[in-house]
């Protein structure tokens, strides 16, 4: 059966909010967590990979709170990573799953890392793809070129700005088909999506919501087998950001993909899928 967004859609209620997720496959549970791009959703990030990954795992592709079709608190009173981490745990609880593999892209990598650090018994293996907040950017600007383009687009969602942002996401601009650009412009221009992204990012810069220690300072406590994936030409979360966690994490390997920007699962789709399947099946 061909997997589509419609025939894989499921719903769960966590902390009074309806969350959408996509489910396919059998086997060890694998929760896939999207990044924070404008108009993003679980399906937009991982829908094209679901056919391959679901042959090996019970894939659960979550729309994190406020993104995609998932509900959200009206006001964020905690760091967004904590809100999203609680949603992951709530999904596992509602499905009766004791533990699962976590695969997180960008912001989703930060969510996966926080979940594994705070609830190690609920997380099996980790795949962190250009993870946000896990590395330390010591050479490039902060915020990065890609994050600045994203914030500019979110403030003024024009076609020119969405194209400028999307170009920072990839190595090969040919990936950016007119259909992809139009779809992202449509979803990202929705006022609810604009507010969700702005509100989530506001929690990252609010001193009152800051964590006692940043994620990168806690990495030695992460015992799970971890695979770090990074595009060599990433302009959103530069590849140098994975060097620190690759050295600090006690059980981690790092793979760097050439000819690839921030979307490893898109630009190096086949290699990404083979690498993830091998790691989650056999380990390091």
Please check whether residue 126 is in contact with residue 283, taking contact to mean a CB–CB distance below 8 angstroms: no
Cα distance between residue 88 and residue 80, in whole Å? 13
CA distances from 20 to 14, 84, 95 (A): 10, 13, 13
pLDDT of residue 136: 81
pLDDT above 90 for 138: no
Query: Residue 141 — pLDDT band, cuts 50, 70, 90?
Result: confident
201: which 2 tokens? 């990012």
* pLDDT band of 139, cuts 50, 70, 90: confident
**Do 229 and 272 contact (CB within 8 A), yes or no?**
yes
Roughly what angle, to the nearest 10 degrees, separates helices 80-94 and 191-205? 110
pLDDT band of residue 145 (cuts 50, 70, 90) is: very high
| Residue-range domains of the chain with CATH | 9-282 (3.40.50.1820)
Contact 131, 212 (CB under 8 A): no
Neighbours of 191 (CB within 10 A): 8
How far, in Å, CA of 159 to CA of 171, rounded?
20
Catalytic residue among 34, 56, 230, 262: 262
**Which pLDDT score, from 0 to 100, does residue 37 have?**
87
Confidence of residue 275 (pLDDT cuts 50, 70, 90): very high
Q: Is 92 within 8 Å of 99 (Cβ atoms)? A: yes
pLDDT(19) > 90: yes
- Please give the average per-residue pLDDT across 124-140, as a whole number: 92
117: helix, strand or coil: helix
**How many helices and strands in the chain, by DSSP H and E?**
11, 8
- Looking at residues 100-128, what average pLDDT do you find? 98
pLDDT value for 1: 84
Q: How far is CA 191 from the centre of its chain?
A: 22
What DSSP line would sit under 153-173, residue for residue? HHHS--HHHHHHHHHHH-S-G
CA atoms of 162 and 157, how far apart (whole Å): 7
Give the least confident one: 6-10, 134-138, 244-248, 270-274: 134-138
Q: Are 29 and 249 in contact (CB under 8 A)?
A: no
- Per the rule left: phi > 0, alpha: psi between -120 and 50, beta: everything else, 161 is alpha
The separation between CA 118 and the C-alpha centre of its own chain, rounded to angstroms, equals 18
Whether 137 shows a pLDDT value over 90: the answer reads: no
Alpha-carbon span 82 to 91, nearest angstrom:
14
pTM for the whole structure? 0.97
User: Is 190 within 8 Å of 157 (Cβ atoms)?
Assistant: no
Cα 226 to Cα 252: distance, rounded to the nearest angstrom: 5
Pick from 214, 244, 97, 117: which is nearest to 62 by CA? 97
> pLDDT by residue (tens digit) across 211-237?
999 999 999 999 999 999 999 999 999
- For residue 110, the model assigns a pLDDT of 97
**In this predicted model, what pLDDT tens digit does every residue of 20-72 receive, in sequence order?**
999 999 999 999 999 998 889 999 999 999 999 999 999 999 999 999 999 99
Which pLDDT value is given to residue 219?
96
Pairing of the two strands 29-33 and 100-105: parallel
Q: State the pLDDT at residue 79.
A: 97
Does residue 203 carry a pLDDT above 90? Answer: yes
Place of tokens 């589509």: 4
**pLDDT at 97 (0 to 100):** 98
The pLDDT assigned to 86 comes to 98
Annotation marks residue 119 as catalytic = no
Mean pLDDT of 152-164: 91
Please state, in angstroms and rounded to a whole number, the distance separating the CA atoms of residues 162 and 149. Answer: 8
What number of residues does the chain have? 284
């Amino acid at each position: 059966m061909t997997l589509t967004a419609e025939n894989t859609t499921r719903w769960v209620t966590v902390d009074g909010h309806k969350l959408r997720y996509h489910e396919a496959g059998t086997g060890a549970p694998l929760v896939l967590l999207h990044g924070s791009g404008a108009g993003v959703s679980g399906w937009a990030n991982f829908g094209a990979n679901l056919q391959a990954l679901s042959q090996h795992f019970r894939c659960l592709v979550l729309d994190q709170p406020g993104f995609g079709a998932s509900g959200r608190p009206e006001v964020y009173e905690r760091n967004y990573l904590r809100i999203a981490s609680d949603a992951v745990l709530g999904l596992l609880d509602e499905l009766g799953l004791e533990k699962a593999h976590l695969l997180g892209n960008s912001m989703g990598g930060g969510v996966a890392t926080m979940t594994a650090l705070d609830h190690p018994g609920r997380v099996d293996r980790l795949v962190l793809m250009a993870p946000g907040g896990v590395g330390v950017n010591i050479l490039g600007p902060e915020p990065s070129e890609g994050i600045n383009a994203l914030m500019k687009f979110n403030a003024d969602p024009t076609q020119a700005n969405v194209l400028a942002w999307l170009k920072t996401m990839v190595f090969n601009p040919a990936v950016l088909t007119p259909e992809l650009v139009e779809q992202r412009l449509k979803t990202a221009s929705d006022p609810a999506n604009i507010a969700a992204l702005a509100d989530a990012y506001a929690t990252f810069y609010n001193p009152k919501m800051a964590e006692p220690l940043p994620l990168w300072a806690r990495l030695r406590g992460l015992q799970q087998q971890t695979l770090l994936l990074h595009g060599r030409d990433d302009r959103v979360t530069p590849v140098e950001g994975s060097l620190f966690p690759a050295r600090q994490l006690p059980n981690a390997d790092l793979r760097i993909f050439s000819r690839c920007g921030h979307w490893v699962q898109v630009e190096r789709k086949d290699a990404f899928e083979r690498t993830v399947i091998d790691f989650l099946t056999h380990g390091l």
